[in-house]
Amino acid sequence: MNFKHQPGTYDKSWIAVVLSLILSIWVVANDDLINPDGILYLESARLFLEQGLEASYQHYYWPFYPILIALLSQVTSTSLELSAHLVNGFFAGLLTYSYVRCAEELGGKQNVIIAAAVILLLNISLNDYRDLIVRDMGYWACLFTSLWLVLRYKRTNDHRLGLLAGVMLILASLFRIEGIVFLALAPILFLWRSSDLKRDITRILIILCIPFIGVVILLTQTGLVDTLLDGRLGEPLSFMREAQLSLLWSGEASDSVSFSFIMALLLTKSLKATGLLQFCLACWALTSQQIRSQIQNLHFVSGFVFINVAILFIFIAALQFLSTRYAIPLGLLLGLPAAFALAHLFEIPSITNKIKWLRITVIVLLVYHLLDSLISLSGDKSHILKAGNWVQENVSADMRIASNNSYMHYLSGRPVTLSVRDTAIQLNANTKAAQVPKLQPDNYDFVIFSINRKRIGYDELLINWLGKQPVERFENARGDKVLIFRTAK
């Protein structure tokens, strides 16, 4: 199998991987809180070890990531939390390696390869997720590894690379449902600008060979069709059944969602996921004939971008919501042409004052990105940690609690189900909107609320709503607080 690379690329790829791992270790070491989704995955992993696959699936119906955590924990005798970070660290390294190699396959020389590594390692949105226990890191790593393999397959016509690309797309699908869309559409990109139709159709069939065989065996031999359709695999079908997109275009859904809303949210999240600097560099690369001519097989990256935009568009139209992490693959894809622009900026021979100041501005922004990645700008979380410790010591597992932070459930020894997480999300939305919480306080022993310092007066609203003072109050230096109320009679 042909994995030859430019002289020096191998070393730079692994240097980037090492830097990525160091960055991941740094951010994990400086954050003691487990994110709500992470609690869900850890609970699913625990159930897999104790009760098997069915129990894990019942707890969370996309269990591949929790199973990886559980198996690593079992093999290494490490805690589930540490195993989760080790899994994410591995995939962060794989993402870094494949991303740098993508830049090489696009025709990038050493300066472009270095620029690609810099853009990835200093992507603020990506680094915000390095300390979180989320399955997205595995999805991103497998997706960009598949892109690297597809680009190399295009150049070498080594069918083994095509088979591996299909496997990586299947693995991406095991992390996130969007991987199936890429599996179905990405191979078709070989027909874009095809000079040999027969050869490129063969390439498509090679990529889809193993996924097709695997899906047939899975669905015919294990009887998982109904189970999968009832889970995340059925979400796209439910979107179609609801006919939200057709209503959108007919104008009947104008009260709930509009085309302008979708585009505004899509642009906002894409900019945040990409970073303004990288977005501007990407625009420069794509509009400059001089830079664009240096990028080989750009249509493959463009195709991945179009597929990603379509996924995000449908997601917003169906749910009227978009998390920044869903747009991170789009941001990283735009980072590839941005790497060519960044390298070009620093190799321009004639240095005018304009170029000089532009370089200084870019360097300052990159330093800012580095500092943002190394220093948590999200603020002091000591109040949440102290409240969590109090809950752990004073709230037994048989007591009923309601909280807008599922971390409190986790520390008090309760299973954190999807229902618990969704309730926390709903209560948190009430908090942000300064609304009275939508729950019956008498049904719980404790009501616990985490309140951002910007929600001025919300603590008084809770006191008036419950008709009593909190039994404990924890506050950090910025004014963020956690209030704990004893509600049972």
> Mean pLDDT, 10 residues at a time, over the chain (489 residues)?
56 89 89 82 91 85 91 94 95 97 94 95 91 94 97 93 94 92 91 86 88 70 51 50 46 57 86 91 93 93 94 83 90 96 87 84 89 68 84 83 83 76 78 76 86 84 87 87 84
pLDDT of amino acid 170: 93
CB 413, CB 401: distance < 8 Å: no
The whole-angstrom separation of Cα 485 and Cα 465 is 11
Q: Give CA separation, 333 vs 85, 123, 305, 439, in Å.
A: 25, 12, 7, 43
Give residue for tokens 């870019």. 362
Structure tokens, 323: 């998390």
Angle, to 10 degrees, between the axis of helix 418-432 and the axis of helix 36-51? 170
pLDDT of amino acid 246: 45
Nearest CA among 225, 146, 221 for reference residue 181: 146
Nearest CA among 128, 170, 131 for reference residue 149: 170
Question: What are 94-127's pLDDT values in tens digits?
Answer: 999 999 999 999 999 999 999 999 999 999 999 9
Nearest CA among 433, 428, 437 for reference residue 408: 428
pLDDT of amino acid 2: 55
Nearest CA among 187, 159, 152 for reference residue 9: 152
**Phi and psi of 471, rounded to 5°?**
-80, -25
Helix, strand, coil percentages (3-state) for the chain, rounded to 5, are 70, 5, 25
What does the angle CA 383 – CA 389 – CA 391 come to, to the nearest 5 degrees? Answer: 100
pTM exceeds 0.75, yes or no: yes
Nearest CA among 64, 71, 66 for reference residue 40: 66
For 168, residues 6+ apart whose C-beta sits below 8 A from its C-beta are: 142, 143, 145, 146, 149
- 223: three-class secondary structure by DSSP: coil
pLDDT of amino acid 19: 94
- For residue 475, the surrounding DSSP H or E stretch is strand 472-475
pLDDT of amino acid 264: 86
Nearest CA among 14, 25, 23, 72 for reference residue 45: 72
Structure tokens, 473: 């109050």
Domain ranges of the chain: 9-33+79-374, 382-486
Describe the strand order of the beta sheet including 401-403 as a list of residue ranges. Answer: 401-403, 446-451, 481-486, 472-475
- 220: three-class secondary structure by DSSP: helix
